[in-house]
Structure 1
Amino acid sequence: MHELEVTSPQFENEGWMPDSLAGYAEDNSPELNIGGIPEGTMTLALVMDDLDHPLVKGFNHWVAWNLPPSSRIPGSIPRGATMENPIRIEQGIGYGKHGYRGPKPPFNWNHRYRFTVYALDAQIDISADSRKEELMEAIENHVLASGTLTGKYQRRHA
């Protein structure tokens, strides 16, 4: 399978995510840049997981689909099931809400957050209340390429 290059101007892969992206602060989604989108891509899907959650490994913070196959996903996407501005996006339930929910590890724990972007050969038709599991099932035979970006976050103020 083809590999996408996923980067952000706000943090490097395996680097520290800024406070503006955290649930303790503005809780803004990061800007993501996508390189290597293959020909035939109709839509993108996006998943963000906390890799170090103490109870649920891979605790989902964001799940989205039917994004246009663009080389840039803008930051600060508002919460809501279907948004048209600043980009068309359908957002399922991650961390109990429709939309991005930033890092919010308790105490001063250091957690890693993985953003995975999928290039798909189809539109995805699932309920707005779908979670990561439903998205992964729906895209199973439609993934042309995928790529990841992992950021770290640690609350520096008690």
Structure 2
Amino acid sequence: MQLRSDNFQHGTPIPTKFAFGKPGNPVALSDNHSPHLAWKEAPAGTRSFVLTCIDTDVPSKSDDVNKEGRSVSADLPREEFVHWLMANIPVECVELGEGACSDEITPSGKQEPFGPPGSVQGVNDYTTWFADDADMGGTYLGYDGPCPPWNDTLVHHYHFRVYALDTELALKPGFSLAELRTAMHGHVLGEAVLTGIYSLNSKGNAEPTEKKTGDCNNYIGQPSRPNSM
């Protein structure tokens, strides 16, 4: 299988349009658009697709995270942070348009995120990150983009991965990564990955030139939500 985007290439920086946070003073909220994604060469027998986006470079300790006069060491052990989980993508859908599944930041999280008909989306880790925030706390479903610590010396890697499955999964909205992995076990026929990088550290990020997204996508998206920021 192959996975690509019109917005960034494998191993290159993700444009700020697709991030939750962008450089500010020290950080500002960004556009939070979901990127264009397209895949092909699914194996015979594919019944549905699963899509995930996971940052594998999140600091395992938060002692120095976003603290003035301090920095997060690149040597600190890292762990996963979920940015997007989507299951039961119809086999006929092999492309998601730019902004089709997220077109802005929604305080307290998207409760009914946009997606292809029949798909179901899981919870992302902003749910935990904002748990004690009076303004932003809530259950975050669907896509919410990168916002790594602004003082992290390590550039973060965001792995967009599509899986071809031989079945649909019995998952309800708000499922976790652990539940998804359990449900997928033994049903994966093939997979492909596209990795983008992102940093809010002025020494770590470079904005790439963005290619224009094609007009013909399987899933273009829906109008904006009225209750979003």
Settle same-fold status: TM greater than 0.5: yes
Q: 1:129 aligns with which of 169, 174, 178?
A: 174
Q: 1:98 aligns with which of 134, 137, 141?
A: 141
**Larger strand proportion, structure 1 or 2?**
1
Paired residue secondary structure (2:79): coil
C-alpha displacement at 1:40, in angstroms? 1.6
Partner of 2:194: 149
5+ residue gaps in structure 1?
none
Partner of 2:158: 113
Please state if 1:66 is matched with 2:71.
no
Partner of 1:38: 43
Q: 1:9 aligns with which of 6, 17, 22?
A: 6
| Counterpart Cα distance in 2 of 1:115 and 1:68 | 18
| Counterpart Cα distance in 1 of 2:31 and 2:17 | 5
Q: 1:23 aligns with which of 7, 20, 25?
A: 20
Alpha-carbon contact 1:81-1:92 (below 8 Å) kept = no
Letter aligned with residue 123 of structure 2 = I
| Counterpart Cα distance in 2 of 1:108 and 1:66 | 37
Alpha-carbon contact 1:31-1:72 (below 8 Å) kept = yes
Alpha-carbon contact 2:120-2:171 (below 8 Å) kept = no
Identity fraction in percent: 30
Letter aligned with residue 84 of structure 2 = W
| Dislocated runs of 4+, deviation >6 Å | none
TM-score normalised by the chain length of structure 1: 0.88
Which has the higher Rg, Structure 1 or Structure 2?
A: 2
Alpha-carbon contact 1:83-1:90 (below 8 Å) kept = no
Number of aligned residues? 152
Paired residue secondary structure (2:170): coil
Partner of 2:58: 53
> CA-atom RMSD, angstroms?
1.7
C-alpha displacement at 1:155, in angstroms? 2.2
Letter aligned with residue 67 of structure 1 = I
